[in-house]
Every structure is written in structure tokens, then in C-alpha cells.
Structure 1
Amino acid sequence: LKELPLSSGFLHVSGSLSYAAQEPWLFEGSVRQNILFGSPYNETRYRMVVRACALRTDLEQLPHGDQTLVGDRGVVLSGGQRARINMARAVYREADIYLLDDPLSAVDTHVSKHLFEQCISGYLKSKTVILVTHQLQFLASADHIVLLSDGKVITQGSYQALRSSGTDFSKTIVDNKEEEEEEESNKEGTFKRTVSQTETTKYEVVEEVEEMRTKYEVVEEVEEMRT
């Protein structure tokens, strides 16, 4: 980005770069203007970016869709919405390299999964993406991982190499993986219990209906005997 002076070595960027800052910003204008940011409007690409950045539902709920004004005098958006518009702006721009500075921290787990799968690993699959993130669950999909601490490189390599390196970070990766598997197992168990409870409720209702039918038939039989 050339925001800091180069103290040593050399810097060479092969191709064009698009950047999504960690702190999302919007200028006064429509949502569409904030995404296009001066780039020509291409309907197909625009729709794909909106979908990849999980903005379609949000735009449908805004009073004037993507023509809704945002910024200081516009509609107040949530932090997650601002982050996704900020990301969509970077993604819409045609570039060779995309630098995304922690775009997943401002959204919930479900949305971050969508952004990673549909945008980073999907829409941008043919591009070079440099992703800054604290979300360990996505590291397994990375080609190369660089671990930073206090501005210094602690270790780097592939996911498998880091996982088997025996470092504190490798233990963190393993623990995180085990937590994910346990969470998935708990979700599956909860679903099975819910289904079981539903089936039990259905069975009890059927039994109750059968009892009512039996009582009704007995009453009818008694009435016939009286007659």
C-alpha cells in the first residue's frame, strides 16, 4: 500500500491491488455508489458481488434498495452492514491482488462463513487474496499462513506444516479443530433430540386421540343400550 516508508529490502507488486480496510468507511451517497466507487457499473458483476458479500437481503430491506443514501446524512447501518459494503467495494474493483484486512470480525459466525466460502474462496478463487483474520476455522483452506505477533513474523507455512510443528500455535489449531468438531457434534445431538421429542409428542397426541375415540364409542354404545 506504500503507506509506510520502506526501511530495508525492496517492494514489488505484480499487478493491481484492491484493499478493504479493517475500519469500514462510507461516503455520503447511495449504497451502489459506495460499492462502485467510481468504477463502471456492470450489472452481472454487481449482482455477483452483492450476493457474494451477503448483501442481497439487506438491500431488499432498505427503503430504496441500493439507491438508499448512507453516510452522515443517510440511513444508519449496522457495523456488519458497513463492513460488507466496505468489502463489496474492494471486491467489485477489478484487480490482481485483494488485501482484506480482518473483514470477518464485524459479522456473526453464519455471515463470516458465507463471506469466506462465497466471496473469498468463491468469487475471488482465481485471484490472489491476502486475508488478515483471527478466525482460525478458515486456516485449513489457506495456501500459505503467516503468523504475526507485535509486527514480527513468528512462523509461516502450510496449514498441515503448522499443525504438526509442535509450537504453541499448532496446539491452538488442534484445540480449535477439536472445539469445532465438538460443537458440530452437539448441534447434531440437539437436532436428534428435537426430532425425538417431536416424534414422542406426535405419538402421545395419537394415543390421546385414540383414547378420545374409544371413550366416544363407549358413550355411543351406552346410549344405544339405553335406547
Structure 2
Amino acid sequence: GSLTGINLEVRAGELVVVVGRIGSGKSSLLSALLGEMPRARGEVAVRGRLGVVPQQPFILHASVRENIVMDREWDEAHYRRVVAACCLEPDFAMLPSGDDTVIGERGLNLSGGQQARVGLARAVYDRNDVVLLDDILASVDAHVAKSLLHGVVLGELRHRARVLVTNQ
């Protein structure tokens, strides 16, 4: 899809929600912000570190905790806040080894909603300045979606620039 005539400025602490039908160019907008889309003209400038939560986050063959923390410095208090905000505590309670359970290739398979929340937790734990959220509420039920909206988008990420795209 082609995007034209877009002028978007998002400051720290601001939330921009882009709502549109499936196929209307929402994900293309995020690709453009990530610099993944060729530009005919214009510019994309991002100040600070950029994080993205794709619709289908990649899951490493590693523990749930390693999938969230990645190569970032361990901060237990921050991790606990992130896990709670992303509604992952009940999931951890049901996993054989909690957040030490190995997932991904040949590991335990997570549901689409669990994978989405692990990807979201990764982006929140990462403390990026700008966070792009690609339809993060699509694979969870209404109750969890409301919790994620309040706990993460309006909670843990409230001081960061956020762009949320959704068709809901």
C-alpha cells in the first residue's frame, strides 16, 4: 500500500491511536516509521530508542523470562511490574516451571494471546522512548484487552511516545 500526505509527530507521554479497516495501511504506517518501507519522498525521524510490538512477535527457543528480558539488564522489580501489567501472572502459574518454562521451537507452545503478551512484555521491559503497537489487543479477550490498555498502554508506557494501530 502507498501512504501519502501523512504528517505525524508524537511526543513523550503522548498516545496516538490509528483505527482503520483491515488492509487500510495501518501496518504500512508502522513499517514506514520503522524505516522498513521505501520512501518516494519525505522523511521519517525518530528521536530515541524505538520498540515495536508486532501482531505476531518472534518467540525464541528459551525460557519465557529470557523471551521477555532478552539481552537487557535484569531488574526484578521492573520485571514483576511488567509481568503484572501484561496479565502474565496467571499464565506463569499454569506453566510447568513458571517463567523458567522453555517455549518456542521444540519448547512448550503458547497460545496466540500468550505470545502477544510476551511480545508486549518484552517491549515494555525494554524501556524504549517510542513504542509502536501493532493491533496488540486483537488476540486477547475483551477482559484482558481492557487490562492491557489500562495496565500497559495507559500505565507502564504512559511516559513514552506510543502509536497504537487497531481495527477495533
TM-score (normalised: structure 2): 0.78
Of residues 102-111 and 15-24 in structure 1, the stretch that sits farther from structure 2 once superposed is 15-24
Structure 1 moving runs of 4+ over 3 Å: none
| 2:118 aligned with 1:85 | yes
Whose helix proportion is higher, 1 or 2? 1
The aligned amino acid for 2:125 is: Y
Deviations 1:155-191 (A, max 9, x none): xxxxxxxxxxxxxxxxxxxxxxxxxxxxxxxxxxxxx
Structure 2 residue corresponding to 1:7, chosen from 18, 27, 40 = 40
| 2:162 aligned with 1:129 | yes
| 2:90 aligned with 1:53 | no
CA contact (8 A) 2:56 2:115 kept: no
Deviations 1:11-50 (A, max 9, x none): 2111111111112220100000100111111001100100
Which residue in the other structure is 1:104 paired with?
137
CA drift at 1:6: 2.1
Deviations 1:91-110 (A, max 9, x none): 11011110010110000000
Supply the distance in 1 between the matched residues of 2:40 and 2:125 (Cα, whole angstroms): 33
1:2 match: secondary structure = coil
Cα RMSD after superposing both structures: 0.9
Structure 2 residue corresponding to 1:35, chosen from 68, 78, 83 = 68
Structure 2 residue runs of 5 or longer lacking an equivalent are 1-33
Which residue in the other structure is 1:119 paired with?
152
Q: How many residues are treated as equivalent by the alignment?
A: 135
Supply the distance in 1 between the matched residues of 2:43 and 2:36 (Cα, whole angstroms): 15
Supply the distance in 2 between the matched residues of 1:70 and 1:90 (Cα, whole angstroms): 18
CA drift at 1:61: 1.2
Supply the distance in 1 between the matched residues of 2:144 and 2:58 (Cα, whole angstroms): 19
CA drift at 1:7: 1.6
User: Taking every aligned residue pair, what percent have the same amino acid on both sides?
Assistant: 45
1:1-227 maps to which residues of 2 (within 5 A)?
1-135=34-168
The aligned amino acid for 1:104 is: L
